[in-house]
Amino acid sequence: MKAIENAPFLVEMIRTTTNMYAHGWDERNGGNISLLLNEAEVKKYLDITKVIRTIPTGFAAPELEGKIFLVTGTGKYFKNVQYAPDVNLGIVRLTCGGTQAELLWGFSDGGKFTSEFPAHMMSHVARLAVDPENRVVMHCHPANLLAMTYVHDLDEKAFTRTLWQMCTECIVVFPDGVNVLPWMLCGTNEIGEATAKKMETARLVVWSQHGIYGAGKDLDETFGLIETAEKAAEIYMKIAHLPLVNTITDDQMHLLEQRFNVKAREGYLS
Ligand SMILES: [Zn+2]
């Protein structure tokens, strides 16, 4: 058995949470990440027949039966993950139709997974149906995206078009756009179901006055997705109060589609 401290999935998770904290996206215990692991890979580092304890999830997700996730802990601070990964992170396997999670490693102070576990697992189900390579769901509180939900129309097409217009690379990085939820109570199955529904058509879902959810095939890609949207929101917040003289036109967006072989969300460009 190899030492889990050297497992690439754990090293990458520690680097990502540390980096997100450094970006100011995860104040206090803000933010959470879940990473779908490959069972054969986990077996190199853990005896997966040894269950430390079983934790009820409070929801059902039969599509994820037997799947193993590395996930951040509830009440835990991203800034502390690098110093005590086994306290702040856990590896769990979903069983009993997703109603139970078997702890295989971590949460060594008796803790458990993030309170947003329902939103994460339901989002994994939705994204895996679209893309079997999707392994990551990431949530955080980037200041400019959050600020934008106070001053911009929350209509998804309008919100997406504004972000696309703020940096040339946006339409290339998230051609599927950004979906938007109104303010909802977090930590509930209801916001989990609503987020998953939105994840069927886009990899980014904004939680108004709260933060954002991103999904992708690995931690780097998902981080980059949120990073790009946040950069666009930052530009918007810098210029929203100024007279707009120039923009990226729809004709120019079509040129980007052709050059980078992407297809903008249906009906979002004229
Ligand atoms: Zn949050």
pTM for the model: 0.97
Q: For residue 116, report the distance from its CA to the centre of ligand 1, in Å.
A: 8
Tell me the residue ranges of DSSP E strands in the chain.
32-37, 53-56, 68-72, 89-95, 100-106, 136-140, 178-181, 204-207, 211-216
Q: Which residues are within 8 A (CB) of 238 and not within 5 positions of it... i.e. 6 or more apart?
A: none
Q: What is the pLDDT of residue 223?
A: 98
Q: What is the pLDDT of residue 72?
A: 98
88-141: per-residue pLDDT in tens? 999 999 999 999 999 999 999 999 999 999 999 999 999 999 999 999 999 999
CA pair distance 159, 202, nearest whole angstrom: 13
Q: For residue 97, report the distance from its CA to the centre of ligand 1, in Å.
A: 26
Q: What is the pLDDT of residue 202?
A: 98
Catalytic residue among 27, 41, 63, 116: 116
157-194: per-residue pLDDT in tens? 999 999 999 999 999 999 999 999 999 999 999 999 99
Distances (CA, A) of 250 to 40, 56, 200, 227, 229: 46, 49, 25, 23, 18
Cα diameter, the chain = 63
Q: Which residues are within 8 A (CB) of 53 and not within 5 positions of it... i.e. 6 or more apart?
A: 102, 103
- Residue 5: which pLDDT band, with cuts at 50, 70 and 90? very high
Residue 102 bears catalytic tag: no
User: Residue 207 carries which DSSP code?
Assistant: E
Q: For residue 237, report the distance from its CA to the centre of ligand 1, in Å.
A: 21
Q: What is the pLDDT of residue 40?
A: 98
For the residues 143-151, what does the mean pLDDT come to?
Answer: 98
Q: For residue 139, report the distance from its CA to the centre of ligand 1, in Å.
A: 6
Q: For residue 213, report the distance from its CA to the centre of ligand 1, in Å.
A: 9
Q: For residue 32, report the distance from its CA to the centre of ligand 1, in Å.
A: 8
User: Residue 196 carries which DSSP code?
Assistant: H
Q: For residue 1, report the distance from its CA to the centre of ligand 1, in Å.
A: 36
